[in-house]
């Protein structure tokens, strides 16, 4: 971290600051120019509060020159992380598609879709048991029962299952779930992240609606700091002024995260756009941009889905998407 001091800073206050920094095990490199005095702070500055330092009377400006994330940082872990879920691998050149309905509705619905998407080449099954809904009056998911149905679909098809957790008290229900999803609204539910850090389950961490990429990595860092490095990042659109799509899919996030971190990065074009017709072109674009995978909503009867029907594909549309993705995959930009 670098602190630029104000022109006529108080010497006494500088002494106070340097002695406080030394207590925090930070070394200081002072550079005294004619007009500008600069402090270079050396050591582990990740716990320093840059906002607090920049407010000090003697400080003109404070700037981090190192990223505040360590476990997730590619600088310290140059090789791609590969996440194994049963026989399925994601990351490090292993590309996979997760598909399934927004909500688990019934055993029949789920198993039909599961078989369809498996036949088309999906590697994992997704399905919502606990559903975060804006309205308390909307369908909230089958909850425990939904997880049971997912496990039954897994038994039948062999597909590992991915489903969302909404509260840490539900964790015991997720014992047999293969990948636990943290939704966009919970990306900064730090108590939940800490608990997930104590497990060794793969975690699918979705970017928050108004979260920067650095904040996404800091949330991954919460999980990893607890000892669980099985984190898959997911870009799913950010909230902007544009209302023609539900969110704005930020595909630049894929190559940029690739530089910042060694963790796998997948893309959710269904929730990002909210429009079924945009799912395939955005899935193909995400693949071309170097994504490690996709998560796609598929429903056997979209107009009657209990939630998010507008963005679900039919199994036929999903099969077509899979083919288009396969065509582009060999030419994806991954460096």
- Residues 191-230 close enough to bind a copy of itself by CB under 8 A: 191-192, 194, 208-210, 212-215, 218, 221-222, 225
Burial class (CB within 10 angstroms; exposed 0-12, middle 13-18, buried 19+) of 241: exposed
Q: In angstroms, what is the minimal distance from the CB of 158 to a copy of itself?
A: 30
Q: Name beta bridge partners: 266.
A: 234, 293
Q: In angstroms, what is the minimal distance from the CB of 46 to a copy of itself?
A: 5
Residues 92-131 that bind a copy of itself (CB under 8 A): 130
Task: Please give the structure tokens belonging to residue 208.
Answer: 């928050």
Give the residue, chosen from 24, 42, 93, 175, that forms a contact with a copy of itself under the rule CB under 8 A.
Answer: 42
Q: Return the number of the residue (112 or 245) whose C-beta is nearest a copy of itself.
A: 245
Q: Reduced to 3 states, what is the DSSP secondary structure of residue 32?
A: strand
Q: Is 248 in the site for a copy of itself (CB under 8 A)?
A: yes
Neighbours of 137 (CB within 10 A): 7
Q: Return the number of the residue (20 or 86) whose C-beta is nearest a copy of itself.
A: 20
151: phi then psi, degrees, rounded to nearest 5: -65, -35
Give Cα separations from 173 to 87, 204, 228 (angstroms): 23, 17, 19
Which residues, including other chains, have CB under 8 Å from residue 316's CB and lie 6 or more apart? Answer: none
Q: Return the number of the residue (188 or 199) whose C-beta is nearest a copy of itself.
A: 188
Identify whether the C-beta of residue 86 lies closer than 8 Å to the C-beta of residue 115: no
How many residues touch a copy of itself under the rule CB under 8 A: the total is 110
Q: Is 274 in the site for a copy of itself (CB under 8 A)?
A: yes
Residues 151-170 that bind a copy of itself (CB under 8 A): 166-170
| Distance, CA of 82 to chain centre | 15
Identify whether the C-beta of residue 162 lies closer than 8 Å to the C-beta of residue 98: yes
Give the DSSP letter of residue 94: B
Q: In angstroms, what is the minimal distance from the CB of 322 to a copy of itself?
A: 13
Residues 1-30 that bind a copy of itself (CB under 8 A): 2, 4, 20, 29
Q: Is 84 in the site for a copy of itself (CB under 8 A)?
A: no
Best CA proximity match to 160, nearest among 183, 181, 140, 142: 181
Give the residue, chosen from 94, 112, 314, 324, that forms a contact with a copy of itself under the rule CB under 8 A.
Answer: 324
Give the residue, chosen from 272, 294, 298, 313, that forms a contact with a copy of itself under the rule CB under 8 A.
Answer: 272
Q: Is 78 in the site for a copy of itself (CB under 8 A)?
A: no
Give the residue, chosen from 24, 25, 55, 106, that forms a contact with a copy of itself under the rule CB under 8 A.
Answer: 55
Q: In angstroms, what is the minimal distance from the CB of 112 to a copy of itself?
A: 19
Residues 289-318 that bind a copy of itself (CB under 8 A): 289-290, 302-311
Neighbours of 51 (CB within 10 A): 8
Give the residue, chosen from 23, 51, 79, 87, that forms a contact with a copy of itself under the rule CB under 8 A.
Answer: 51
Task: Please give the structure tokens belonging to residue 201.
Answer: 């389950």
């Amino acid at each position: 971290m670098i602190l630029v001091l104000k022109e006529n800073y108080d010497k006494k206050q500088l002494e106070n600051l340097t002695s406080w920094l030394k207590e925090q095990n930070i070394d200081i490199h002072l550079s005294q120019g004619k007009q500008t005095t600069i402090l270079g702070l050396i050591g582990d500055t990740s716990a320093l509060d840059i906002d607090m330092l920049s407010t000090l009377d003697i400080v003109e400006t404070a700037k981090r020159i190192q990223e505040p994330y360590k476990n997730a940082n590619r600088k310290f872990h140059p090789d791609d992380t590969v996440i194994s879920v049963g026989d399925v691998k994601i990351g490090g050149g292993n590309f996979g598609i997760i598909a399934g309905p927004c909500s688990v509705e019934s055993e029949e619905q789920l198993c039909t879709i599961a078989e369809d998407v498996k036949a088309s080449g999906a590697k994992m099954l997704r399905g919502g048991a606990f559903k975060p809904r804006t309205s308390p009056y909307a369908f909230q998911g089958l909850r425990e029962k939904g997880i049971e149905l997912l496990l039954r679909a897994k038994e039948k098809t062999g597909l590992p299952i991915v489903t969302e957790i909404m509260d840490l008290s539900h964790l015991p229900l997720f014992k047999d779930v293969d990948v636990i999803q943290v939704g966009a609204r919970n990306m900064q539910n730090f108590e939940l992240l800490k608990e997930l850090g104590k497990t060794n389950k793969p975690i699918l961490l979705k970017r928050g609606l108004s979260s920067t990429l650095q904040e996404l990595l800091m949330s991954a860092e919460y999980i990893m700091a607890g000892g669980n490095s099985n984190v898959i990042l997911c870009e799913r659109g950010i909230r902007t002024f544009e209302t023609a799509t539900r969110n704005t899919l930020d595909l630049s996030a894929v190559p940029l995260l690739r530089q910042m971190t060694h963790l796998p990065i997948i893309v959710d074009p269904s929730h990002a756009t909210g429009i079924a017709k945009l799912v395939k072109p955005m899935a193909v674009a995400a693949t071309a941009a170097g994504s490690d995978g996709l998560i796609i909503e598929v429903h056997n009867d979209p107009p009657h889905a209990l939630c998010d029907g507008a963005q679900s594909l039919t199994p036929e549309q999903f099969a077509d998407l899979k083919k288009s993705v396969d065509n582009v995959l060999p030419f994806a930009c991954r460096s």
